[in-house]
A and B are shown apart, each in its own frame.
Chain A
Amino acid sequence: MACFLVSAAEAAVVTVVEKHVEKKEKAREAAGEQVSTSAIPLSTKLKWLCTMLWGGAFLLMFEHIWHGEVVPWFPFLTAMENSEDMMEMFKEMATVGVCMMLLVTVVWAVMCVVAEHIAKAPAKAEAKASKED
């Protein structure tokens, strides 16, 4: 009904945070300071999450248009036309929508941990080799 709205809302918040973090990282870079302690900057990781959330929400919105649940006129959601459908829509947003948002975020978090580990692996191996020498 409108489950994609939950992911879209998270995407909007993450986009704002990502822009703020990117600005901070650029300022640090300009000042000649270390941008980030991790191998992959936080802004890059947040961009991944933004793409997953915006992309997923956009394609799901298309599915809702296909099924006639989203319309181009006010109030844009056919479920908003009567209170019974509206309650069902809110229930779906609270269950399916929240689960979608959580799953995408958890997968992203795992992806970040794995990517960080892979990116740091050569540096760790180099440090280990120099210790042995």
Chain B
Amino acid sequence: MTLLITAFAAIISTVLWYTRKDDRMQLGFLSLMFWGASLMWLVDAVFEFVELKSEYFTPAAEDMLNDSFLGLSVVALGLIVWVVRLLIADPEGKLKKALSKR
């Protein structure tokens, strides 16, 4: 589930990056981060499959729920990293403008 959720996050962020005219929102960074994690979890999944064989596809409900929470938490963490990076870079100068007003 963690792999699946992260892979979906990677696909969605890549589509969003592709549809935008420029990369001011730094969606390229977000998609590369999720793709990196997805590839790493893919390797993990292959090793687990080799060990468990068909059992890999029939996980216990409790394990699946835990994995789903983990996957969602990973996506949330990735988004937090991206937002913090975006705010630090402040490509549209909105943060700078807001702070200078004060």
Residue ranges of A at the interface with B (Cβ–Cβ < 8 Å):
3-4, 7, 48, 51-60, 62-63, 66, 95-96, 99-100, 103-104, 107
Contact = CB atoms under 8 A, between A and B. Distances in A.
Nearest to A53: B36
Given A58-B81, A62-B73, A96 B36 contact: no
A96 B45 CA distance: 10
Contacts of A52: 32-33, 35-36, 39
A96 B32 contact: no
Given A3-B44, A51-B33, A55-B34, A103 B39 contact: yes
Contacts of A53: 36
B74 A59 contact: yes
Main secondary structure of the interface of A (DSSP, over half): helix
A56 B36 contact: yes
Nearest to B75: A59
For chain B, which range describes its interface: under 10, 10 to 19, 20 to 34, or 35 or more residues?
20 to 34
A18 to B, nearest CB: 14
A51 B36 contact: yes
Nearest to B71: A63
Given A52-B33, A52-B36, 10 more contacts: A7-B40, A54-B36, A55-B81, A57-B36, A59-B33, A62-B73, A63-B70, A66-B70, A99-B43, A100-B43
A96 B47 CA distance: 7
A6 to B, nearest CB: 10
Contacts of A48: 32
27 contacts: A3-B40, A7-B36, A48-B32, A52-B36, A53-B36, A54-B33, A55-B33, A55-B34, A55-B78, A55-B81, A56-B38, A58-B33, A58-B81, A59-B77, A59-B78, A60-B37, A60-B40, A62-B73, A62-B74, A66-B73, A96-B47, A99-B47, A100-B40, A100-B43, A103-B39, A103-B43, A107-B35
